[in-house]
């Protein structure tokens, strides 16, 4: 439940900030009349995200067990790929997010306004589909469908409220640290989902090594215990993984964490801070102050 709450909170907050940036910019350039078309695109994106979640939830029931395992494993890997791309993209482009969105809106201003709706659809729809796919994969891996789904929706509702308070200037948070730490946490969650997906493919006979268990700690961490349930719900912890699952899990964490640290500039900024004073804002809330406060001021 907590893992899916975090997924919903992060993805929802990212989408909320994007919507705030787009609406604030349209007001700033005197095109408030286009906001309604923007909301049309956003509404369509929400419908697509909900439909994706519904199809993933009820669609596979009619499939044979082997086909269902293949589908579950394949979609879990796809979900991990999309979330990994999102985390790395955000680490690399967070500081220029406002400029990128402004450029897309400027290009969409020509024509009958369908371009503006399309910008809203793409920017929010990407977050929505990623959230639906990753939450579904996480629920499938953890096996706690009801609590995980509730956690995801609670995270999304919290993100909507937080986005509103940020846009009104009532709340200020260090967005740079928020996206950094939640990004690292999502990497751990994604590693567990990826290992679970490999396990599904092994059960279906697509990936070999289904019986080659790397270790067994069920006596130390029983799945029925409170801490076993907590680890399983948060990180999809498997007390009896195969060698393929363990290898994929470790490899993913090492490679993706290294890329994330490099692209987010977590290491590169430290020498600058030691060698000379840096007057450049180091947080999204400072460097992109119009992002969080613009709807209040325009």
Looking at residue 247, what is its pLDDT? 94
Q: How confident is the model at residue 110 (pLDDT cuts 50, 70, 90)?
A: low
Q: In whole angstroms, what is the distance from residue 177 CA to residue 284 CA?
A: 9
Q: How confident is the model at residue 56 (pLDDT cuts 50, 70, 90)?
A: confident
pLDDT tens profile 116-164: 788 878 878 877 887 888 777 776 665 566 677 787 888 888 888 888 8
Nearest Cα neighbor of 182 from 16, 46, 2 is 2
Q: How confident is the model at residue 228 (pLDDT cuts 50, 70, 90)?
A: confident
Nearest Cα neighbor of 84 from 288, 283, 257, 295 is 257
For the entire predicted model, the pTM comes to: 0.70
pLDDT tens profile 154-201: 888 888 888 888 777 777 777 777 778 888 888 988 898 899 889 989
Measure CA 262 to chain center.
19
Both tokens assigned to 99: 């400029």
pLDDT tens profile 6-33: 778 888 888 888 888 788 888 887 778 8
What does the radius of gyration of the chain's CA atoms come to, in whole angstroms? 21
Residue 90 reports pLDDT greater than 50 = yes
Nearest Cα neighbor of 222 from 212, 234, 237, 235 is 237
Looking at residue 96, what is its pLDDT? 67
3-state SS assignment for residue 111: coil
Residue 223 reports pLDDT greater than 90 = no
Both tokens assigned to 212: 């080659």
Measure CA 263 to chain center.
17
Q: In whole angstroms, what is the distance from residue 187 CA to residue 12 CA?
A: 17
Nearest Cα neighbor of 239 from 225, 251, 221, 252 is 221
Q: Which comes out higher in pLDDT, residue 269 or 237?
A: 237
C-alpha torsion angle, residues 82, 196, 230, 249 (rounded to 10): -80
Residue 269 reports pLDDT greater than 70 = no
Domain ranges of the chain: 2-297
User: Token pair 């929010």 is at which residue?
Assistant: 124
Both tokens assigned to 105: 């809106």
Most confident of 16-25, 250-259, 289-298: 250-259
Looking at residue 245, what is its pLDDT? 93
CA separation, residue 130 to residues 6, 14, 252 (Å): 14, 12, 19
Looking at residue 242, what is its pLDDT? 93
CA angle 73, 123, 74 (to 5 degrees): 5
């Amino acid at each position: 439940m907590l893992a899916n709450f975090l997924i919903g909170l992060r993805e929802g907050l990212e989408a909320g900030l994007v919507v705030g940036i787009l609406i604030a910019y349209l007001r700033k350039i005197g095109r408030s009349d286009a906001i309604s078309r923007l909301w049309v695109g956003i509404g369509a994106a929400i419908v697509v995200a909900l439909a994706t979640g519904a199809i993933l939830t009820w669609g596979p029931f009619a499939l044979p067990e082997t086909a269902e395992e293949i589908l579950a494993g394949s979609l879990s890997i796809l979900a991990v790929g999309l979330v990994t791309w999102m985390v790395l993209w955000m680490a690399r482009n967070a500081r220029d997010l406002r400029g990128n969105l402004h450029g897309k809106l400027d290009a969409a201003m020509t024509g009958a306004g369908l371009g503006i709706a399309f910008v809203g659809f793409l920017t929010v729809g990407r977050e929505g589909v990623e959230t639906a796919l990753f939450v579904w994969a996480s629920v499938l891996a953890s096996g706690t469908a009801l609590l995980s789904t509730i956690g995801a929706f609670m995270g999304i509702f919290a993100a909507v409220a937080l986005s509103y308070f940020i846009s009104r200037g009532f709340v200020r948070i260090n967005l740079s640290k928020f996206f950094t730490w939640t990004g690292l946490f999502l990497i751990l969650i994604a590693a567990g989902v990826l290992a679970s997906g490999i396990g599904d493919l092994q059960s279906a006979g697509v990936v070999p090594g289904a019986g080659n268990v790397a270790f067994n700690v069920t006596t130390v961490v029983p799945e029925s215990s409170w801490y076993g349930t907590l680890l399983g719900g948060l990180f999809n912890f498997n007390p009896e993984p195969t060698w393929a699952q363990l290898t994929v899990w470790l490899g993913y964490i090492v490679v993706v964490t290294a890329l994330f640290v490099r692209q987010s500039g977590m290491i590169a900024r430290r020498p600058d801070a030691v060698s000379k004073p840096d007057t450049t804002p180091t947080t999204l809330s400072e460097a992109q102050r119009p992002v969080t406060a613009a709807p209040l001021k325009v």
